[in-house]
Amino acid sequence: MKKEFDKFKQWLALNYSDGLLDLNSPATNDEIEELRSALGVDLPDDFISVLKIHNGQKGEAAWLFDSQEFLSTQRIIEEFNIWKNLLETKLQGKVSVADDGVKNEWWNINWIPFTSDGCGDHYCLDLSPTSSGTKGQIITLWYELDEREIVSQSFSLWFKEYVELLNSGELIYSKEYNSIVYKDEL
């Protein structure tokens, strides 16, 4: 993951230096353990390795992942707890329209948000897929939409594809939106 993250940082240095400066220092072992304990799950090694490179972003610059904040361990816990509270209060019985391999729940306690747009939309690690899914697959969780889609089979594949989109020019930093966006969305 270090090699891919270095490519990401190189792109940021050339295209959006404020984004590079917004990355947090590496997560400590204590922060990783606090995250695991708060979530009650074992996280995929590829995801942990990225947190040990940079523990998300500070949030003082534009969001780094497709108009979404790269969450730190503390921010993951915060977003997880928001969803957990919603599940216990307002989401009981709500179902989603899910891709094959994803449970058709509105939210599942084993869907771990690692990005956020600040309005309840996330990319999540799915640590409890159906039998036709892959543990650790990346899924969409859009608060107001009922679709739950698989976007990648693992965090490492998702991140590699994201960096490739940056380097191909499909994703760009937009001053107008103050975010990294798909160029065809401008």
pLDDT tens profile 79-136:
999 999 988 887 777 788 899 999 999 899 999 999 999 999 999 999 999 999 999 9
**Domain spans of the chain?**
2-185
Q: What's 185's DSSP letter? A: G
Give the residues across from 24 on adjacent strands: none
The pLDDT value recorded for residue 136 is 97
Q: What's 37's DSSP letter? A: H
- Fold of the 2-185 domain: SMI1/KNR4-like (3.40.1580)
State how far the alpha carbon of 62 is from the alpha carbons of 4, 18, 99, in Å: 20, 8, 30
Whether the CA torsion 70, 75, 77, 82 is positive or negative: it is negative
pLDDT tens profile 14-66:
999 999 999 999 999 999 999 999 999 999 999 999 999 999 999 998 889 98
Q: Which one-letter amino acid corresponds to residue 89?
A: T
CA–CA–CA angle 92, 96, 100 (5° rounding):
135
Contacts 24+ apart (CB under 8 A), 34-41: 34/73, 34/77, 35/73, 35/76, 35/77, 38/77, 38/80, 38/81, 39/76, 39/77, 39/80, 39/112, 40/109, 41/110, 41/112, 41/127
What gap in Å lies between CA 179 and CA 171, rounded to an integer? 10
Strands 147-148 and 97-98: parallel
Number of other CB atoms surrounding residue 103 within 10 Å: 19
User: What three-state secondary structure class fits 170?
Assistant: coil
pTM for this prediction: 0.94
